[in-house]
Chain A
Amino acid sequence: MGTSPSTAYVWAIIISLVLFLIAALIAYMIPNKPGGKDIKDRKVWYWVLFVAVICVSFGANYIIGADIRIPTKHAAYLTASAIATGVGAVLYLILGILLSKMMPKSKLGSWF
């Protein structure tokens, strides 16, 4: 894969999906507990990983784009990285809301 702006989008989406799967796995691995502490824990983990999507996605693309020597291309890649990070974050959010609402009785239902 080269380092065109589309690369930034691909990486952002992959990172978003991977972290989303990790959030889902953690949600399932937190056992139900009386008083709903587990629900709070799932929410916290979901939002921690949301922040991670933003940081990891932008950070990864920043490192990948560091090799671009041509300033205009480098600037274009950084711009694409920022937009891709937003896309990844929105994707993470939409998937979270969709699955949470589609399976309200599952542990993912704790997110929203």
Chain B
Amino acid sequence: MDDKLFIIAIGGTGMRCLESFVHLCAAGMFDNKTIDILTLDTDQANGNKGRVEGLIDLYNNIKTSDQNNPGGNSTADSFFTAKLNLYRFYTDYSDDSRGNFKLLAQTNSLTPAQREDDEDLSALFFDKNSVQEFNLAHGYRAQTHLGSMLMYHGILESAIRSKKGGDKVKPQDKELKEFLQLLNRNAANARVFVFGSVFGGTGASSIPVIPVALGDALKVITSGDNELNLNKVKFGSTLLTDYFTFDTPADSQKKNAKVIADANNFALNSQAAMSFYNKDLTVHQSYKMLYHIGWPSSHKINYSRNHTGDVITGGKEQENPCHVVELMSAAAAYDFFTRKDLNQQRAEYVYRTVEMGEGGKLRLTGASFIGDKEGPVLEEKLGSLLSLSHLILSRYKGALEGIDGTIEFINDLKRRNVEAYASLPDEQTRLLDTYLKEYAYSIRDGQLLPGWLHQVKSTIDGQFIFSDEALSLDPAVLQNVDPGTIYNDEKYNWDVSFGFGSKVDRRIDKFIEVLKKDSAPTEQQGESLKEKFLGNIYNAIVRTQKASHL
């Protein structure tokens, strides 16, 4: 029996890694899989959290509009093949009575002497005027010693509320409980992959404690009847060290915020975290696989670029662009979910190195992410979705405001007497346009708004699977881009038809002819009309390529 797959994404970096993972699902990397996803943060309003949750909703709406079966069913050999179930949890610090550690730690039933002892004990671990008093709503701000305790506390507190029931149970408590119950039901063969960084706040605080916290929360919910057997529920995670930076906060901001993450300390934080993960017994016993992922310090991106004023510490404004390191993390999850044996008693640490070309330029291929065997499959899956993006966004002008590329494409098929998809409602096909814009790019007022893949490419100084033109940041180039020549490796590009016109026209001509005649969707590509439409396009793209591993 296949293992049941779970993802837990924690903190801002965890959310962006999840975003990369969702795009891998959209590209069809997880055929026939159902994946249950828990987003975990201190901050419900966090921009990255909102963005990825919106992306998963969009993904599910593209798969099906059936309200009785949200997200539809898993399929194979197509786009959007995995079924994704989303659960949202956050440790709510928005209430004035829960805004910092001091307030959370308040108890009413203590004698003055006990209170004094407690305060002294707390002060030993957490600085009284800063760590105990900073606002927790924007995360743990690199104070992982505090964060680990509070995340554990937040999860247990939620489980206790769920157990007690009544009015105090919040929506996020219900969703955490559902996730835990699902984990419990599949405890015999579950794989759980945790996304988060080790150098920041919320993720770094949570990764060490999350298996234990979930196990203890399960005990609470089941009144001690069930606990997680960590030999059967297999956890894996990234050990993601610092890969971006931001400007040093001004003294005035430091003073107001009491504690604020300083990017200058990220490298030190990473080093301390590595030392901790190397020695900590709980981590060794809780995790089966830990994936070291890092990035050259000389290539770090500054996320404060184009932003003036205070350093963004969290909240709605924290909506950092995506980075190739997050795709590497998503690829680590792919590796974890597809590994045959995970029976080791202690955590196994793994890493992969990537090729450097002339002048220290990176040369990233599919193999750089998931190895030589599966690398070409990753390239083609991501490439197929990129070709579809260019077809809809560039060829049918869907990237521009007010033009619905997919509707134009379907109308075009109708003109050619392919009427099977003419009944797809406009609002449903617009969702595909929206997704492709998130995946690739859109153009507003002549300016390019890079989507995920273009953002990832812009973080790489060197080659990345696809041609520079296919991932250009110039709107003029993209408006005339050829969907059939996106690869650096010529053999994966589309074949041309015999006839008049430019090579671009003849490549697309070949694609349309294959789509009309030789690429009917199969049963395993889905039942709904939308799934058949996607399956039909997927088949046509793969069959128009000169060579394919798919």
Contacts and interface: CB of A to CB of B under 8 A. Distances in A.
A28 B499 contact: yes
Interface in A70-99: none
B412 A35 contact: yes
A30 B512 contact: no
Contact of A36 (B415, B497, B505, B509): B415
Nearest to A109: B417
B155 to A, nearest CB: 52
Interface in B498-533: 498-501, 505-506, 508-509, 512-513, 516-517
Contacts of A35: 408, 412
Contact of B499 (A29, A109, A110): A29
Given A36-B412, A105-B517, A31 B499 contact: yes
A34 B499 contact: no
A39 interface: yes
B505 A105 contact: no
B497 to A, nearest CB: 7
B499 A39 contact: no
B395 interface: yes
A33 interface: yes
Interface size on B, as a range, is 20 to 34
A6 interface: no
A28 B506 CA distance: 11
A86 B499 CA distance: 31
A4 interface: no
| Prevailing SS type, chain A contact patch | helix
Contact of A30 (B396, B412, B499, B508): B499
Nearest to B502: A31
A20 B416 CA distance: 21
A32 B408 contact: no
Contact of B395 (A30, A34, A109): A34
Contacts of B417: 104-105, 109
A39 B506 contact: no
Interface string A1-39: 000000000000000000000000000111111111001
B418 interface: yes
A34 B412 contact: yes
Contact of B396 (A34, A105, A106, A110): A34
B412 A31 contact: no
Contacts of A110: 416
A33 B499 CA distance: 13
A32 to B, nearest CB: 4
Given A105-B516, A105-B517, A31 B508 contact: yes
Contact of B415 (A31, A39, A107): A39
Contacts of B509: 31-32
A35 B409 CA distance: 9
Contact of A34 (B408, B501, B506, B517): B408
Interface in B392-451: 395-397, 408-409, 412, 415-418
Given A34-B396, A105-B516, A105-B517, A29 B416 contact: no
A29 B418 contact: no
Given A104-B417, A105-B417, A32 B508 contact: yes
7 cross-chain pairs, A with B, having the tightest CB-CB distances, nearest first:
A29-B499, A31-B509, A104-B417, A32-B512, A31-B505, A31-B501, A36-B415
11 contacts: A29-B498, A29-B500, A30-B501, A31-B499, A32-B416, A33-B505, A35-B412, A36-B415, A36-B416, A39-B415, A105-B517
Interface of A: 28-36, 39, 104-107, 109-110
Given A32-B508, A106-B517, 7 more contacts: A31-B505, A32-B512, A33-B508, A34-B408, A35-B408, A39-B415, A104-B417
Interface of B: 395-397, 408-409, 412, 415-418, 497-501, 505-506, 508-509, 512-513, 516-517
